[in-house]
A and B are shown apart, each in its own frame.
Chain A
Amino acid sequence: MTIFIFKAVLIFIIFLISLGIAAYSTYAERKVAAFLQDRIGPDRAGPFGLLQPLADGVKMFLKEEIIPTVSDKWLFILGPCLFMVTALMTSAVIPWGMPLEIGGKIYKLQVADLNIGILYILGVVSLGVYGIMIGGWSSNNKFALLGAIRASSQMISYELAMGMSVIAIILISNGSLSLTAIVESQKGLNWNVFYQPVAFLIFIICAFAECNRTPFDLPESESELIGGYHTEYSSMKLGLYLFAEYINMFISSAVISCLFFGGYNFPGLDYLNTVLPVNLVSLISIGILFVKIFFFIFFFMWIRWTIPRFRYDQLMRLGWQILMPLSIINVLVTGAVLTFFNK
């Protein structure tokens, strides 16, 4: 039974961390944007503006709740909820660190070690479209519908290349689909990114597209579609959408870290394991993972404030005509290399 309690606690903690990181991502986004543009950014609420997310949250809650009269009320409410749920669900299979030892028992820092971990992520990500589509459609607004359609076609298109790039990773990590196994196969500095730079490139581009981040933020491009699928949303429902996007960003950073940058692995982990107590090593490994995640969150923002948005046809061409063939070639080349050199 203790395992269940542990898992419940773990889920709760991950939930809180996700929310917290998402909240502070909004703050970080504004800060990074400001810094990259030689500005200071929010610094009034609390020291260095650290309470800014709180203020934003309060503001969101206090805003008027508007549900358009011509909208489909149930779906209008369901949309942001679904989006949030799917965003949070992905975190279930990510190994957060080395196992903890409590009371002589070993606890894996992972909610569920599925033997199909990566597929689970792809599956849940593919469900994420519904939140956007339902929200966009039920708003009964042309801009919202356009945003929703753009979002869904974009996400479906890029999911394929994403899956194909992941196949190359599966190939080189002993054919296991489990994220733990993939992370374990990258001991030390044996990170996949060095063996699979092309897959990494494809994956990160697709991750940008799946998170609707610039340069792929066409679904909500404010200059064309006002707010895209969440044009009609206000108050905390809008908050959920925005929040969920930041959670997506957090999770995809975590996935990228696990797939390509060794997850919680770092050179010297094995050595530390022999010297330090297990729990301390575990905490250090968690810290390492989070350093990587923060780097990628920063990278997401960095890209956002550097590269302008694609045109829609460019986006589709990139997805279908470049990334898709490239990822297939990558898989073929990887398979060929493995076949010829490993035997």
Chain B
Amino acid sequence: MNSQIIFFILSSLSLVSALFVVFSKNPIYSVMWLIVCFISIFGHYLMLNAQFLAIIHLIVYAGAIMVLMLFTVMLLNLNKESEPHKSPLPKVAAIISGGLLLLVLLAAMHSGSLPGYISPDLTDTGYVQKVGIKIFTDFLLPFEMTSILFIAAMIGAVVLAKKEKH
């Protein structure tokens, strides 16, 4: 029962914070709520015994990506939505289509064979050794590719963000 309670607390936290990400007026608040959401997902990962991934998630998302987001929002000074009021039609359409997608996906799951009450196989799947061995044997090539992707992205970001000299 304990784990169910934790699950519901974490899930409601992540859902509520995700909603706040979308509906907060102030971008800074959106960023903060997204961080909360990520931390709740961190909790989910721990629940699923993926400790290594949980920490990596924390370091990468909360520690790096969101700092970058916050940084940009602060630098661009987007503290208030200074956009003029526009027609609410797109927003209504957004909500409707989001809801439709949810319905379709849930319906698809329902019609398909959902994994039922399988008890989780809480072995050492999430341990560093296991994941590391996977990465450096079966997934070595993708791993190297991602490193290339990464360096390309880094160079690209530097080039893009650098001020052009006139």
Q: Which positions in A face B, CB cutoff 8 Å?
A: 72, 75, 78, 114-116, 119-120, 122-124, 126-127, 129-130, 133-134, 137, 145, 148-149, 152-153, 156, 159, 175, 177
Find out whether the CB atom of B74 lies under 8 angstroms from the CB atom of A148.
yes
Q: A115-B127, A129-B63 are in contact. Are A145 and B74 (CB under 8 A)?
A: yes
> Which 8 pairs from chain A and chain B are nearest by CB?
A126-B63, A123-B58, A119-B55, A123-B59, A123-B55, A137-B74, A116-B55, A116-B51
Question: Which applies to chain B's interface (DSSP): helix, strand, loop or mixed?
Answer: helix
Q: How many residues of B contact A (CB 8 A)?
A: 22
With contact pairs A133-B70, A145-B74, A149-B74 given, residues A126 and B52 touching in the complex (Cβ less than 8 Å): no
Give every chain B residue within 8 A of A75 (Cβ-Cβ): 28, 32
Neighbour of B59 across the interface among A78, A122, A145, A153, CB < 8 A: A122
**Nearest chain A CB to B5 CB, angstrom units:** 16
Contacts of A153 in B (CB 8 A): 71
Which secondary structure dominates chain A's binding surface? Answer: helix
Confirm or deny: B10 has a beta carbon within 8 angstroms of a beta carbon on chain A.
Answer: no
Distance from A136 Cβ to chain B, minimum over Cβ atoms (Å): 8
Contact indicator A177/B128 (Cβ below 8 Å): yes
Q: Which residues of B have CB within 8 Å of A123?
A: 55, 58-59, 62-63
Would you give the shortest CB distance from A111 to chain B, in whole angstroms?
Answer: 15
Q: A133-B67, A137-B28, A156-B67 are in contact. Are A119 and B59 (CB under 8 A)?
A: yes
Enumerate chain A residues within 8 angstroms of B63, measured Cβ to Cβ.
122-123, 126-127, 129, 156, 159
B147: shortest Cβ distance to chain A, in Å?
Answer: 13
Q: Which residues of A contact B32 (CB under 8 A)?
A: 75, 78, 134
